[in-house]
Amino acid sequence: MSIKTMAILTPGFVPVPAVRGGAIETLITQIIEENEKNPKFRIDVYTVNDEKLDNISYKYTDIIKTNKSIIDNIISLKHRIINKLCRILKINYAIGTNDRYISKLVKNKSYNYILVENNMNIFRIVNRRYKGNSKIIYHLHNSIENDPAKSFGFCRDIALDADLILTASDFLKKQFSKYFNNCNIVTLSNCIDIKQFGTTHENYIKEFKNKYNLNESDFLITYSGRLTKEKGIKELILAMKDVVKKYPKCKLIIVGKKWFGSRSENQYYKELQKIYKSIEKNIIFTGYIEHDRMPIVYNSSHITVVPSLCQEAFGLSALESIACSTPVICTNIGGLPEVVSYDVGRLVDINDDLVNNLKKNIMNLIEDKERNILSQNSRQYVINNFNTPELYFEKFYTEIYKLDKNE
């Protein structure tokens, strides 16, 4: 039997393979790498360009990079202006500035399957060209509520026309099905590489601590994510202001950066600076750390906090921390409860007392010997409940192959 062909259309923000990070981009990279070991598809990956991609190649996957013309750049500028006007006018609409070009690259090519990763506008464009000629799969990675890039019209098109909808969590499946219940939708929970996310050699931990002037007596709390309002970093810093009064050796390690550097995000970062000024000796900003070095961060930490205010689709950073035997405190929202149980962490309700609730839970895990029990539970919990990349890929291609059997 000849190998099936597949186009993977990336979200269009950061490159694939995941040389600049990104949860979705990391997952696509894992699919590519598993397909190298167990080839089920001949894949073309359509991605934004990056110099770090120049020396990467695969046997069964071609990386097709954008190389925009002057006209494409003008259209991208137009889309940025439209998006800005929509935000100002509070219109629930947004479009990716690279959508048109990524979609255009696929034109006049023939595939058995087209996988659109989380970008509904790209799905709409590609669906017009390929409907009936290829099996089109949409992979949903974040909440469809309160997201201007996931309007009702976009979701309706996907519900009507996608041959298969994959979701990153049961939470997303239930949310989508609440509005559209007559579609082929399957949960495919994100995977974790337990070989990568596990115990880290003491030398790497020592090197990490030396780099950021951390002492062995410091109690280390990690936050990993974007520095944006919906991620709850402000509430975590406010909680830390009370924590360090009682535990002056408690340090908060913030791994991440602002997303696209918009004006509103710059203002938010300035607000954060004012808040943490009084405890700046207890706050360490590392900036972006490459994904393959994150196990060092988690293994150096005593706990990880995921204080999201938004409907997190899954909570990959929480899962990675647990895999490294580092307990997690997270908000009880979206897909996070599918990742964190009371065997390995603590769930905090979002309400008017969130800052105080975060503070209490952090202090409890500083003081309580139960933290060691949570840590001991963590590794086996991940092995028992979550996909490895190998198992994820097996479920992935099995669901896609079913589309041919259903004809």
What pLDDT, in 10s, does the model give residues 46-67? 999 899 999 999 999 999 998 6
> In the predicted model, is pLDDT for residue 123 greater than 60?
yes
Write out the E strands in 27-112: 41-47, 61-65
Task: Kindly report the pTM of this predicted structure.
Answer: 0.88
- Give Dmax over CA atoms of the chain in angstroms: 67
Predicted confidence at residue 131, as pLDDT, reads 85
Phi, psi values for residue 139, rounded to 5°: -110, 110
Q: How far is CA 113 from the centre of its chain?
A: 24
Q: Residues 239, 270: contact at Cβ < 8 Å?
A: no
- Is 3.30.70.270 the CATH number for 202-385? no
261 confidence band (pLDDT: 50, 70, 90): very low
- For residue range 82-109, list pLDDT tens digits in order: 656 766 666 655 555 556 657 777 777 8
pLDDT tens-digit readout, 352-405: 899 999 999 999 999 877 899 999 999 999 999 999 999 999 999 999 999 998
Q: Check: CB of residue 310 under 8 Å from CB of residue 143.
A: yes
**Helix, strand, or coil (residue 222):** strand
Q: Which regions of the chain carry the CATH code 3.40.50.2000?
A: 4-191+387-405, 202-385
Residue 266 scores a pLDDT above 90? no
Q: What are the tokens at 377? A: 């539970």
Q: Hey, which residues does 221 pair with through a beta bridge?
A: 252, 303
Instruction: Answer whether residue 307 shows pLDDT above 50.
Output: yes
Residue owning tokens 């991609």:
53
Question: Which residues, 6 or more positions from 232, have their beta carbon under 8 angstroms from its beta carbon?
Answer: 307, 308, 309, 331, 354
Long-range contacts of residues 41-44, Cβ cutoff 8 Å, at least 24 apart: 41/3, 41/4, 41/5, 41/6, 41/113, 41/397, 42/3, 42/4, 42/5, 42/6, 43/5, 43/6, 43/7, 43/8, 44/5, 44/6, 44/7, 44/8, 44/109, 44/111
Indicate the average pLDDT of the chain: 89
CATH of 4-191+387-405, one of 3.40.50.2000, 3.90.1570.10, 3.40.50.300, 3.40.50.10190: 3.40.50.2000
Residue owning tokens 């909440």: 143
Percentage of the chain exceeding pLDDT 70 = 88
